[in-house]
Structure 1
Amino acid sequence: MGDASPQSHAALFQPGAIGRMKLRNRFVQSPIFTQYAGTFGDVSERMIDYYRARARGGVGLIITENTSVDWMVGRTVGHPMRIDHDRFRSGLAALTEAVHNEGAKIAVQLHHTGRQNSQGNTERNEPPIAPTAGITSAFGTPPRAIELDEIPGLIDMYAQGARRAVQSGFDAVELHGAHGYLLGQFLSPKTNKRTDEYGGSLENRARFALEVVRAVRDIVGPDFPVMYRLSVEEPYEGGLPLEEGLAFAQMLEQYVDALDVSAGNYDTADVLLPMYPPGNLVHYAKAVKERVSVPVIGVGRLTWLLDEMDEAVAAGELDYVSLGRAQLADPEAVAKTRRGDHAHVRRCIAVNECISRWMFNGQRTQCVINPALSQEARAKDALRLADVAKRVLIIGAGPAGCEAAIVAAERGHAVTLIEREPELGGQLRAWSAASFLNAEMTSMITFYRVELERLGVSVRLGSEATQEDLDSHDAVLLATGTKAAGMPEGAVDAVDMLTTGSAPEGQDATVHGDTEIAMFAALWLAEQGRNVTLSSPSGDVGLDTNDMQRARLAQLLSEAGVTTLTGQQAPESGVVVWAQERIASDLLEGQIDDEKVRAIGTRIRGGRMYEATQSGFWAAAEI
């Protein structure tokens, strides 16, 4: 989507209401687990800074991450925020005040994992609990069955969490009944095999969730907004069918003020956390909207489809557009959209490093394209004007070099960026070659270009840095990345091939490597109509990327007819594209003194895009 006037997307910027809660626009921040809370679930300054930045960025409503109503056995793995005791109200109140001071509203999401938990994550090393014993999830351990006499206590946990939400200044509560957690486990025929009044028919399977909703409504009163997040379908064998999900939405309608519509669970993660293409969940919200009269929130990489979403809201096909990972990538996406500055948005590239690399491994959520995520206060300080404006030279216009140039220029330095290739982007251009990530990588390159123009950075493309360049600047950053290593004579460097778009001659080609770039190279060659074999020296391929990206690329390679072989020696004949691990560039190695001249990015840190953007940002902050 290109630039548009500030008057575009008028429907998305209309005020809205969910119950008595008035909202400044139709943008909602989805609940995303960050691990920014304290070790024992208390609200931290890091968490407040994170939410404050998103509220300042223009979104109308923020829904907090999964907030635990049962810390003992029902918290998600790691350290989520919690609302299971009155002692946490003080921190929660500080959070709501910070968001309100920026003009946004905030709802808390009340959450219980049920079976989607591990025994090692419970306080007393107890099994997780579920409607039915033994049915595990993608990352859980076998649960025990919830006894009938335990159900009132579980219902009260949600109700007491809602009471604390009201007392802490939240504007609404959302019950997390989606993505395979406890409320959804009772609803799903896959996970609920009970034979009492809470199992069997849809009406019985819906009973627990409806009793929770009614208990919450009773404790917060008739005017306090209550929302419900539901997976309207579980698209796998035995899961909740769409028609039952729609019928359940109608059951909820009389008790709630809005429905937040998603699909799937962590056994169907490709549906739950879409990577490609955008918008694959929004049809669920539209289907629910046809059945109910309360407001409906749609999700699913929708910053890529704002024109379509504006039309959908204007037509009454849904009421609110939810932004999840997009808000990690750029907290100011809504404000920039309102101004018509679409090219200046860091648009989420959906490689799911945030989820699979960090969140699933119990670490603070990070973003490969936003170095400030989880470090908002430190990043704000880093962008302060420099005490002395300097002449800064940056060599290499990949992610590290572009990030460094932007930060240095923001701080008031006079910046020159030199790139030997005729275009910006570095390895982003290689990633953009295959259709899989072409739109995302092209958008990122465009973002860097327009930001460099906005800040007045002098960009010299197709140029080599000279000794005169180095001598005439006060600080020099070498962001020259990596180069191929161990490549046999006659082989083609995969990065060079993808960057230039020049496929080697011959119908048959072998890509040798166990890296992510090997998968991209094989996919791109297949798209050029070649017969491709992906030859990995290891037992797998894509070893340097996260599990979800690896699985998605493997699926695309299979669909493209690529033959993948593991445990292979390097080919000795034929067309060979080399995609093994790369080594640091040694350009101007003799000039490095770590004072005036420093190496940054993957040249010094190794790794991929995350390491490049982090290094570029923080190196420039030190000049």
Structure 2
Amino acid sequence: MTSTLSELAEKHAALFQPGRIGRMALKNRFVQSPIFTQYAEVDGYAGPRLIEYFRERARGGVGLLITENTSVDWQVGRTVGHPIRIDHDRYRSGLADLVEAVHNEGAKIAVQLHHTGRQNSQGNTEGNVPPIAPTAGITSAFGTAPRAIELEEIPGLINLYAQGARRAKEVGFDAVELHGAHGYLLGQFLSPKTNKRTDGYGGSLENRARFALEVVQAVREQVGPDFPVLYRLSVEEPYEGGLSLEDGLAFCQMLEKYVDALDVSAGNYDTADVLLPMVPPGNLLHYAKEVKKRVSVPVIGVGRLVWLLDELNNDVAAGELDFVAMGRAGLADPAIVEKTRRGDTSNIRRCLAVNECISRWMFNGQHTQCVINPALSQEKRAAEARRLAVLAKRVLIVGAGPAGCEAAILAAERGHEVTLVEREQEIGGQLRAWSAAEVLNKEISTFLEFYRAELQRTGVEVRLGTEITEADMNGYDKVLLATGTKSSGAPKGAVDAVQMLADRRAPESQEVTVHGDTETAMFAALWLAEQGRKVTLSSPSADVGLDTNDMQRNHLNGLLAVRNVTVITDQPAPASGTVVWAQDRAASDVMAAAVDGDRVHSIGTRFRGGRMYEATQSGFWAAAEV
């Protein structure tokens, strides 16, 4: 329900109060935290795609934006792919354009200075040389064995950060942030797991902290006493031999006199489930609150916080936290802050945290994308797509899954008269199935509420429980068939997993075999276990969840273990017992004969295959062509 502005002003008053980081005045307490996008040019230049991405998020109302991991050492210290770079003056013009774009939207921007250290691969370095680290040979979750940094190299490394900070100030950035979190170079010196040095930069906490403190001091010398310097850190590495919380908190106190704010996270890529939380919201927030108890400088909290704005408002009002950072949430909806300010909370695309965005660059070398935001990384093109159509048309969309809903909303925004027809009694399509298990119930249910609110806002006529015939399509200028997929290859008597989950109707048998190597198979097994069934997940392949990303697969496997689901691989289809079929699906052929590529089109997974990402992309961009 939409709140009045006066109600909202009271509900989220603390979050919308101005704040300060050093001498930098911010209009509210919201921060767009850094997320690697690969939107920079191949050589690291800040080009149009990156600038439009930041411009859109600045326009959305956030007070401070922090760039992604911006390389101070392109030779051996850049993130895999093509991050932004600030290691040479030739990149100043693009960075200046980025700053100006954000400033023109009324926000402030900080650049995050970054060096990978050991979290890099030899193939990603110039000259195919090993990455560098405090200690040789200690590899990360990804990467190759690093060589040890020689003592005489340390001043040069420190200067890389200092010169990056100098350039940042000169091109107009409002602040710099040093990336000492998530297992990168600054954190590698601090961590006893990765720092086994026996010189003045290893051993005791004071020695392990020396490199980071010298970097901060060198940066301060370059930018002066009044330029804001932030430090992002993992205050704990929750694995054997990693940085302890006690040492992390002590390090924060060492930093306090040199920095203007602490951006508090935890973990590294060896503990990705902590670093990139999937559930529950706010699982990193206690770290920021512990830091806040010990320092006087502002503290920024992170960790799926878009779900906790009411609680966070109270935290900020009570002085337990100063700023609220949102990363993946800002990918899903760049206008979160402005919508929250207006009270349009039902119209926010809330991040599902399935980590498809992160996995695209981490494992596949692709641009960061979002399964629920088809405009991400295409902000300028999407703005053009939303312009009013020259000629309003009568548009029929058949199927109210994600493709159909996206198409209906955009077509209506563009001024078309849109009717959305769905044979079931609810919108959502396969989303209704994915929302059955507890793991994504809240997230998917909320996303369906978003679609309902947007369909209402844009004036789409929604007809539920309605079957369409070819004759019913007469009288429409354009027909988009978004009927998705259907079960394929199931043996006689098998239960279709998608239909079972959507209907929330479990087989009567107390022992059930789910057969499939898909993410849907994992959802089905989880839901059946939640209903008290004894479940075996039988995969025809060597693994399960082959159509999802590694992080989601690992997360779901952990939940299957908790639910005592037996997983067996390389199995043929079961010949007996109660079987739930969850293998790959075939494209729907509803009214296939009517598809002419002119007036009648197939869209969504029916047209291009795939899953949710392909559905939302296809639905949105198909409507842009109407």
What TM-score does the superposition give when structure 2 sets the normalisation length? Answer: 0.99
Corresponding position of 2:559: 556
**Which secondary structure does the structure 2 equivalent of 1:206 belong to?**
helix
Equivalent position to 2:141, from 134, 138, 142 = 138
Corresponding position of 2:121: 118
Corresponding position of 1:379: 382
Corresponding position of 2:8: 6
Listed as ranges, the matches of 1:82-101 within 5 Å are 82-101=85-104
- Aligned AA for 2:621? W
CA RMSD of aligned residues (A): 0.9
Q: Deviations over 1:218-244 (max 9, x none)?
A: 110000000000000000000000000
Listed as ranges, the matches of 1:54-453 within 5 Å are 54-453=57-456
Quote how far apart the aligned CAs of 1:6 are: 2.9
- Aligned AA for 2:623? A
- Aligned AA for 1:253? E
- Aligned AA for 1:69? V
Q: Deviations over 1:503-526 (max 9, x none)?
A: 111111110111000000000000
- Aligned AA for 2:476? H
Distance 1:292 1:475 in 2: 61
Corresponding position of 1:504: 507
Say whether 1:579 aligns with 2:582. yes
> Which residues of structure 2 form unaligned runs of 5+?
none
Distance 1:335 1:361 in 2: 33
8 Å CA contact 2:481, 2:600 repeated in 1: yes
Quote how far apart the aligned CAs of 1:3 are: 5.7
**Which secondary structure does the structure 2 equivalent of 1:551 belong to?**
helix
**Which secondary structure does the structure 2 equivalent of 1:361 belong to?**
coil
8 Å CA contact 2:360, 2:367 repeated in 1: no
Q: Deviations over 1:476-500 (max 9, x none)?
A: 0000000001111111000000001
Distance 1:210 1:467 in 2: 71
- Aligned AA for 2:398? I
> Which residues of structure 1 form unaligned runs of 5+?
none
Quote how far apart the aligned CAs of 1:360 are: 3.3
Distance 2:424 2:311 in 1: 36
Distance 1:356 1:38 in 2: 20
Say whether 1:472 aligns with 2:503. no
Quote how far apart the aligned CAs of 1:356 are: 1.2
8 Å CA contact 2:406, 2:620 repeated in 1: yes
- Aligned AA for 1:314? A
Distance 1:618 1:153 in 2: 49
Distance 2:89 2:435 in 1: 50
8 Å CA contact 1:394, 1:477 repeated in 2: yes
8 Å CA contact 2:587, 2:609 repeated in 1: yes
Q: Deviations over 1:559-584 (max 9, x none)?
A: 00100111111111111100010000
8 Å CA contact 2:470, 2:594 repeated in 1: no
Distance 1:47 1:186 in 2: 31
Q: 1:3 to 1:488 in 2, by over 3 A?
A: farther
8 Å CA contact 1:18, 1:295 repeated in 2: yes
Distance 1:607 1:379 in 2: 22
Q: Deviations over 1:248-302 (max 9, x none)?
A: 0000000000000000000000000000111100000000000000000000000
Distance 2:409 2:248 in 1: 47
Quote how far apart the aligned CAs of 1:466 are: 3.0
- Aligned AA for 1:6? L
**Which secondary structure does the structure 2 equivalent of 1:408 belong to?**
helix
Q: Deviations over 1:345-387 (max 9, x none)?
A: 0000000000113443221100000000000001111111111
**Which secondary structure does the structure 2 equivalent of 1:465 belong to?**
coil
- Aligned AA for 2:569? T
Q: 1:260 to 1:213 in 2, by over 3 A?
A: same
Distance 2:404 2:540 in 1: 32
More deviation, 116-125/360-369: 360-369
- Aligned AA for 2:226? D
Say whether 1:525 aligns with 2:525. no
- Aligned AA for 1:437? L
- Aligned AA for 2:8? P
Corresponding position of 2:610: 607
Quote how far apart the aligned CAs of 1:469 are: 2.7
Corresponding position of 2:491: 488
Q: Deviations over 1:298-335 (max 9, x none)?
A: 00000001111111000000100000000000000110
Q: Identity rate of aligned residues, in percent? A: 77
Equivalent position to 1:43, from 21, 43, 46 = 46
**Which secondary structure does the structure 2 equivalent of 1:537 belong to?**
coil
**Which secondary structure does the structure 2 equivalent of 1:533 belong to?**
strand
Distance 1:467 1:512 in 2: 35
Q: Name the count of aligned residue pairs.
A: 623
Equivalent position to 1:597, from 600, 608, 623 = 600
Corresponding position of 1:617: 620
**Which secondary structure does the structure 2 equivalent of 1:6 belong to?**
helix
Distance 2:240 2:36 in 1: 27
8 Å CA contact 2:38, 2:361 repeated in 1: no
Say whether 1:547 aligns with 2:546. no
Distance 2:360 2:158 in 1: 34
